[in-house]
Amino acid sequence: MAEIIAHLQEDLRGLQQILLKYSDTTQMINEEELRLLEEKIIYLENTYTLEELQAEGLSNAEIINCLEAVGIFLGYSDLVKKDTAGAIDHLMMALHYNPYSKDALSTLLDVFMENMEEEDRGQKVYGLLSQMYDLDKDKDREMIIECALDTGFIQLCNEITIQETEK
């Protein structure tokens, strides 16, 4: 059982090296590394599925951790490739498996900040997050506010405050 987790960690380390290199937007993407990145992404998407991990006999917690990690790294990969829609999908997948992943939520909020029109951005993201989280719960609301502050998404913090005062 631990073998597949060690293998996933190895795969993710290899991807991380490429992602770190290209997280600096001034770096030109090498075609060979981009091809390798694409192959790794396809491999990750096909190898680390819920069914495959269940077949390996992993515990639910191990499966959730694996799928969250895969979702986050695929999201980062999409960002390197400038595939915003793919990044959102993969980060949402990570949050599906672990709604309290600050890494996934902060990255998702970053994507929204960079790619959404500023007008009504806070309201739109609040609407989306209110479908995913129970914002009446302190734990959910505080995590969202913490991630929003970490990413500088002040409009979202303001929207949460407005919604709380209207209740």
Q: Are residues 82 and 161 located together in one domain of the fold?
A: no
Q: Are residues 118 and 51 located together in one domain of the fold?
A: no
Q: Are residues 66 and 3 located together in one domain of the fold?
A: yes
- Domain final position from 73, 98, 123: 98
Q: Are residues 110 and 90 located together in one domain of the fold?
A: no
State the residue range of the domain holding 141: 101-167
- Domain final position from 98, 115, 135: 98
Write the DSSP assignment of 65-85 as a string of letters.
HHHHHHHHHHHHHHHHTT-HH
Given a contact cutoff of 8 angstroms between Cβ atoms, the answer to whether 90 and 67 are in contact is no
Given a contact cutoff of 8 angstroms between Cβ atoms, the answer to whether 92 and 108 are in contact is yes
Tokens found for residue 41: 């992404």
Angle between helices 31-47 and 60-80 (to 10 degrees): 150
DSSP state of 119: T
pTM of the model as a whole: 0.82
Q: Are residues 71 and 134 located together in one domain of the fold?
A: no
As a dihedral over the C-alpha atoms of residue 38, residue 84, residue 15, residue 152, rounded to 10 degrees, the angle is 170
Q: Could you list the pLDDT tens digit for every one of the 167 residues in the chain?
A: 567 778 788 878 877 777 777 666 676 767 787 787 788 888 888 878 888 888 888 888 888 888 898 899 889 888 877 889 999 999 999 999 999 999 999 999 999 999 988 888 999 999 999 999 999 999 999 999 999 999 999 999 999 999 888 86
Q: Are residues 55 and 81 located together in one domain of the fold?
A: yes
Write the DSSP assignment of 73-118 as a string of letters.
HHHHHHHHTT-HHHHHHHHHHHHHH-TT-HHHHHHHHHHHHHHS-S
Q: Are residues 58 and 113 located together in one domain of the fold?
A: no
- Domain final position from 60, 75, 98: 98
